[in-house]
Structure 1
Amino acid sequence: MRRLLSLLTAFAFVGLTAAYAGEVKPFSDSKEIDLLTILPPPPANDSAQTKAEIGEVLTLQVTRTPEMVARAQADAEENVWRFADVLGPDFNKDKLPKLAAFFDRVVETEGAVVDPAKDVFKRPRPHQLSELVKPAVKPSNSGAWPSGHTTVGTLMGIVLSNMVPEKKAEIMARAWEYGNNRIVGGIHYRSDVEMGRISGSVIAATIMKHDDFKAEYEPAKAELRAALGLGGA
């Protein structure tokens, strides 16, 4: 019995160690990038700005087309493969394992930096302030300021455009649409999106200086450019 317990304990330890080792580690966090010292506080709930921004969301609610809604719903997914409509069919997870692992860390970095700030700012979402707002995407009750989706979209866009500078304009335009679709979807105010773009830019500028980022960036970039039929850059 004692031997069995020892074996079970050993297996449990190995399992926990493997699970921990498999966790995606962000390139940075809120201790290094403190958005509370970078971003201004959000507008008050009863401010003229917030009321105007709710008005914009409500206007979009009655003017958005089914195609716009479909794009907003698809962009609710937080991963780099949403840029495939710019980079083409060869831009996919199966063909780019190094890039996939690298961007898993990039995406994880957004949450590690943004979520603590959201918890402090605590800006209500449009649908939480106005019962007239009916989000076209899955509702969220986390803080709205800044937009996490916009942050990660901007961050991914900046990194991708550095890897493929030939398509920088198209990639960044797609990143901007990714953020704007949070307004189309009725889940964010425009100023949340603006703060997300600032946040994504700050995170990108910070992590690109890290040695571990550089070590994973170069092989991921080489893999991507080879898959797209591009030479070295």
Structure 2
Amino acid sequence: MRRMLISGLLLLPSGLTGFAQTPPAIAQPAASPEWVSFLGPFPAVESDEGKADLAILLWHQRTRTPADIQRAASEVKLTLEAYATASGRSLNPTQFPKTAALIDKVGKDTKAVTDSLKKHFQRPRPYLTDGRVQPAIERETSPSYPSGHATRGVIFGIILGELAPERREALLVAGRQVGVDRVIGGVHYPSDIEAGQRLAFRLAAAWLADPQNRAAVDAVRVAEWSQPAKP
């Protein structure tokens, strides 16, 4: 049974260890059999899990607040600002240009994987399947599974946690919230989020295993994160 997101944050491992096998390298074809097998199929519409998926989405639709919608809308274009409070820093790209460039690279590498997996699975967005679903944020035409925002939300939190280990858990919470907000906004099923968040931990392990990527993270930490955050 898949873990379902209801009103809180989907709890996932906070570390990058404990995988039974070495994660596939990101350099492999994005929709490689390893990545496809790791995620597995999404719930069928008429299955119990599929019905629960929709019920949870509709529950969020009924209970979302203006503040929830505003936050979800602000994350449609996901930037460092979503992590400012959790990091204890402003994270303005003009003040953290190397961090912004690093996150941009992580985002592009991650999107290459999620876009190809979306193309493989071809799950329609919930509002294309059920007319009761009324998104509160920008609709998208790309397939729904896995959620790219949920994947990037968590992997950005992981990478930022490498820069500020003392803020790691708060950054992961902020990253998970990005996925939750895609359900609140009505553009994803909970199972899209669960898949994307699981994928993020797997991708982060592969990305950080690359010596060049690890060296880039270390260089950014020294250049822009050596001073403690302001209280």
Aligned to 1:18: none
In the alignment, the residues of structure 2 paired with residue 89 and residue 163 of structure 1 have an alpha-carbon distance, to the nearest angstrom, of: 12
Structure 2 partner of 1:106: 106
Residue correspondence of structure 1 range 20-169 to structure 2 within 5 A: 28-31=26-29, 34=32, 35-169=35-169
Partner AA of 2:29 in structure 1: K
1:181-205 deviation digits (Å, cap 9, x = unpaired): 1110111111111100111111100
TM-score, length-normalised on structure 2? 0.82
CA contact (8 A) 1:96 1:223 kept: no
Give distance in 2, aligned partners of 1:188 and 1:229.
34
Distance 1:33 1:220, change over 3 A: farther
| 1:89-141 alpha-carbon deviations (Å, 9 max, x no partner) | 53210011111111110010111111111111011111011111111111112
Amino acid at match of 1:177: Q
Deviation of 1:29 (Å): 4.4
Letter of the structure 2 residue corresponding to residue 31 of structure 1: P
Paired with 2:228 and 2:66, the residues of 1 have a C-alpha distance of 32
Cα distance between partner residues in 1 of 2:44 and 2:192: 13
Residue in 2 aligned with 1:178? 178
TM-score (normalised: structure 1): 0.81
Contact 1:79/1:107 (CA < 8 Å) preserved in 2?
no
What is the count of residue pairs matched by the alignment? 204
Once the two structures are overlaid, the 10-residue window that deviates more, 89-98 or 190-199, is 89-98
Unmatched 5+ stretches in structure 1: 1-26
Q: Which has the higher contact order (CA 8 A, sep 6+)?
A: 2
Identity %: 30
Alpha-carbon distance in structure 2 between the residues aligned to 1:29 and 1:137: 33
Unaligned segments of structure 2, at least 5 residues: 1-24
Partner AA of 1:187 in structure 2: V
Structure 2 counterpart SS, 1:146: coil
Query: 2-side partners of 1:164 and 1:114: how far apart?
Result: 26
More helix by share: 1
Letter in 1 for 2:70: A
Q: 1:127 to 1:105 in 2, by over 3 A?
A: same
Runs of 4+ displaced beyond 3 Å: 27-30, 226-230
* CA-atom RMSD in angstroms: 1.9
Q: Which amino acid aligns with 1:151?
A: T
Deviations 1:149-202 (A, max 9, x none): 000011111111121111112111111111111110111111111100111111
Partner of 2:216: 216
Cα distance in 2 for partners of 1:72, 1:126 equals: 17
Is the 8 Å Cα contact of residues 146 and 192 (structure 1) preserved in structure 2? Answer: yes
1:41 Cα deviation after fit? 0.7
